[in-house]
């Protein structure tokens, strides 16, 4: 008498699929970790951009302020202050970090770009080793 249930040729098929399922979950977990690392780096870059813009907006042209009584920002000093602020922000784990500060009137805009290393994606064939991240912050020196 034949036994009811799965045919004999299907026995053990779940055992064969388990390693494939484990590998799929491992790859998905690695992608989640890499995405989290990129997101964290982007947030750190955004925080550093805000701090740099706030610092750079204080780069007042002292000669014009005390000599002429006018308030204006000195673009070269704004760039220098922004760069120094970014260097103090502890973003040594990012590669190719570039800070660009622009001045338009009393407004300073700081844009930061960098590359962050992926933790696992480099091990996946066709995966990239790094991701590009960027952040921009604006600070206004206008007296209210």
**Strand order of the sheet with strand 95-104?**
95-104, 107-117, 130-140
Taking 60 as the threshold, does the pLDDT of residue 6 lie above it?
no
Q: Give the pLDDT confidence of 67-87 residue by residue, as tens digits.
A: 887 788 888 999 999 999 999
Report the distance separating Cα 108 and Cα 53, nearest Å: 6
Over the chain, what is the mean pLDDT? 87
Name the nearest CA neighbour of 36 among 143, 128, 138, 116.
116
Lowest-pLDDT range, 1-5, 72-76, 104-108, 113-117?
1-5
What percentage of the chain reaches a pLDDT higher than 90?
A: 54
Domain extents in the chain: 12-140
Rounded Cα distance between 60 and 78, Å, is 8
Per-residue CA distances from 50 to 5, 13, 55, 118 (Å): 65, 56, 9, 25
Under the banding of pLDDT at 50, 70 and 90, the label for residue 128 is confident
């Amino acid at each position: 008498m034949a036994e009811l249930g799965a045919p004999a040729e299907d026995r053990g098929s779940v055992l064969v699929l388990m390693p494939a399922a484990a590998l799929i979950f491992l790859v998905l977990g690695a992608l989640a970790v890499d995405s989290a690392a990129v997101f964290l780096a982007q947030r750190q870059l955004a925080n550093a951009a805000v701090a740099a813009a706030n610092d750079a907006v204080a780069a007042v042209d002292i000669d014009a302020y005390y000599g002429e009584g006018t308030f204006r920002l000195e673009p070269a000093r704004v760039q220098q202050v922004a760069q120094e602020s970014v260097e103090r922000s502890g973003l040594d784990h990012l590669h190719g970090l570039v800070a660009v500060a622009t001045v338009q009137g009393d407004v300073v805009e700081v844009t930061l770009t960098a590359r962050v290393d992926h933790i696992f994606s480099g091990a996946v064939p066709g995966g990239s080793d790094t991701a590009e991240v960027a952040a921009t912050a604006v600070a206004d020196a206008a007296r209210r």
